[in-house]
Amino acid sequence: MANAVPPVAPVDITTTPEWKALQNHYDALQAEGISLKKWFAEDPQRVEKLSFDTSDLHFDLSKNLVTDETIRLLVNLFKAAEVEDRRKAMFAGEHINCTEDRAVFHTALRRPKEDIGKYIVDGEDTVANVHEVLDKMYAFADRVRSGEWKGVTGKPIKTVVSIGIGGSDLGPVMIYEALKANLTGPACRFVSNIDPNDIAEKVKGLDPETTLMIVVSKTFTTLETITNAKMARWWLLDTLRKNGAIDDSPEKEAEAIAKHFVAVSTNLELVADFGIDPVNAFGFWNWVGGRYSVDSAVGLALILAYGKDVFEELLSGFHDMDLYFEGTPAERNVVVLMAMINIWYNNFFGYETHAVLPYNQYLHRFAAYLQQLTMESNGKSVRWDGSPVLCGTGEIFWGEPGTNGQHAFYQLIHQGTKPVPCDFIAFANSDNPIQCEGQDVHELFLGNFLAQTKALAFGKTADEVRAEGTPEWIVPARVFEGNRPSTSIFGTELNPHTLGELIALYEHITFVEGIVWGIDSFDQWGVELGKQLAKQITPALHDDEALAAQDASTRALIEFYRKARK
Ligand code: F6P
């Protein structure tokens, strides 16, 4: 239950001298003209000054619309927003999720065993609890991966179906896809949508005798997940019976559920009510937000698919980025700078969206994952004390892997009227190093990543276009004005540790932005109304009394449905 009185109000950031200084600086830059070409020419140290390294990743921020003065003023703003105090509070597991009066402590999920006993939150030894569950998951995964864990008919598990939605789905899917080149355990499928097409497609071709279902839900009340879990239970039992693999005795059904269903939740009572043996349930805690939970038991499918060592590497990547974020001075802290540069674009330039463009096909769900992380966290219009926000919040994140995006929406990024800051993510090594007719295909790929960031930053002048013999009237259409900002994130290879760093990077960027805006990045009240209305409206699809209670537009749509429904 939340506190009856509001917490201490956040800093009124837009009224601070630091904000005003940035506004003046922005006006001055606009007046004198922003030119990355000029800034690069004038300052031979620019790349060096704006390059950063974390344990696995190299960052080049030089193609952003910033000068030394911009960075200085952004760091001042970061300090004025008291982010450092708030960061300390988050790393101590304080209740900074104000509207739900909950601790925010996902950073404990990746703390090593040596930290047991050091972080007591709400009376619990959080790190001890984390490792207890991790050990239980590793032991379970070993049994499944080795074939010791058998289904109801004595066959080992070949496929895992993970059922969850939002934070109980997007992280596991994204990481499963990202690491797929090195799959060593059962293949995983993920069911999230309540659209029955999703589960219908995901169980197609599966043998229930060799399938393990994981029901992942923090609350264990989410309509989509519970409905999908019920459908999965029905499918499993029905198919086993039809195949003659089990009889229809309640004992055999209970045994089948016990052998083929496990759960991940904070609500172990509801897990038991569903019929899943609590022995086969893996817990987590209220201090882990759904979208910050992939490194908790929510990632169980990943341990089954990739094993303990890979998951531990992933956790250590997260933890290394935590240490970096916590311990690096703001002026040289790439997490802080990326967040503050995002604020620079969002609040001073008025750039509303932000593209994340991984040059790695295995990261094809990364943007979808980031959308929940960033937009469910920071898409808010009131601050953590209930007062209205004072400036624009919540950038709109989107993206697709390169080079596919190049042939789709990059036109707008290069020449459109709405500039889009971009994060490019690439790796020096490919999981599939292939030579085609003497050409290293990965080099062709990387050439594209480098070319895009260069074209965006430096463009192409009218004179350069003319020099190619272009008719004068077509020249404007072929000019690239440049000064389109981007950050390049380069890694050695996409491995579990790097991925952990990358995810934690964006978690902390989201955190910094949220604090500067004064919002609670850890609640998500904005998803509630739709859930409530769906419960109220669904009966109107077939019930006249419920239909009469709807607004005119909803009624008209339902009338269309009733006529169209076969
Ligand atoms: O509806 C939004 C949300 O609450 C997310 O924040 C969460 O990740 C998702 O639903 C799933 O919730 P649960 O894990 O409780 O099923």
pLDDT tens per residue across span 513-551: 999 999 999 999 999 999 999 999 999 999 999 999 999
Check whether residue 118 and residue 24 sit in a common domain.
no
Atom of ligand 1 nearest to the CA of 219: 15
Answer whether residue 197 is part of any domain.
Answer: yes
Check whether residue 203 and residue 143 sit in a common domain.
yes
Calpha distance 554→547 (Å, rounded): 8
Which domain, by its residues, includes 271? Answer: 106-308
Please tell me which residue in 79, 113, 454, 531 is annotated as part of the active site: 531
Q: Does the beta carbon of 219 lie inside 6 Å of ligand 1?
A: yes
Q: Does the beta carbon of 346 lie inside 6 Å of ligand 1?
A: no
Amino acid identity, position 74: L
Candidates 391, 296, 411; CA nearest to 347 is 391
Q: Does the beta carbon of 168 lie inside 6 Å of ligand 1?
A: yes
Answer whether residue 316 is part of any domain.
Answer: no
The answer to whether residues 304 and 138 touch, using CB atoms and an 8 Å cutoff, is no
Answer whether residue 412 is part of any domain.
Answer: yes
pLDDT of residue 1: 57
Give the tens place of pLDDT for each residue, 101-115.
999 999 999 999 999
This prediction has a pTM of 0.97
Please tell me which residue in 407, 418, 454, 542 is annotated as part of the active site: 407
Check whether residue 460 and residue 544 sit in a common domain.
no
Pocket test for ligand 1, best of 97, 173, 190, 222 (most atoms within 8 A of CB): 222
Q: Does the beta carbon of 419 lie inside 6 Å of ligand 1?
A: no
How many domains, the chain? 3
Residues of the chain with pLDDT under 70: 1-2
Answer whether residue 319 is part of any domain.
Answer: no
Please tell me which residue in 376, 501, 507, 513 is annotated as part of the active site: 376
Q: Report the separation in Å between the CA atom of 510 and the middle of ligand 1, taken as the mean of its atom positions.
A: 18
Q: Does the beta carbon of 217 lie inside 6 Å of ligand 1?
A: yes
Q: Does the beta carbon of 145 lie inside 6 Å of ligand 1?
A: no
Calpha distance 539→555 (Å, rounded): 12
Active site residue 376: yes
Check whether residue 536 and residue 496 sit in a common domain.
no
- Which of residues 517, 534, 551 is at a domain's end? 517
Q: What's the CA angle centered on 512, arms 507 and 515, to 5 degrees?
A: 125
**Domain with 28 in it: what CATH number?**
3.40.50.10490
pLDDT of residue 118: 97
Q: Report the separation in Å between the CA atom of 405 and the middle of ligand 1, taken as the mean of its atom positions.
A: 29
Answer whether residue 490 is part of any domain.
Answer: yes
Active site residue 407: yes
Check whether residue 366 and residue 413 sit in a common domain.
yes
Active site residue 180: no
Alpha helices (H) along 307-440:
308-327, 334-343, 366-370, 377-378, 410-415
Check whether residue 61 and residue 116 sit in a common domain.
no
Q: Does the beta carbon of 225 lie inside 6 Å of ligand 1?
A: yes
Q: Does the beta carbon of 202 lie inside 6 Å of ligand 1?
A: no
* Residue 383 neighbours by CB under 8 Å, 6+ apart: 9, 10, 389, 390, 517, 518, 519, 520
388 DSSP β-pair partners: 382
Answer whether residue 444 is part of any domain.
Answer: yes
Rg of the Cα trace of the chain? 26
Pocket test for ligand 1, best of 97, 168, 190, 264 (most atoms within 8 A of CB): 168
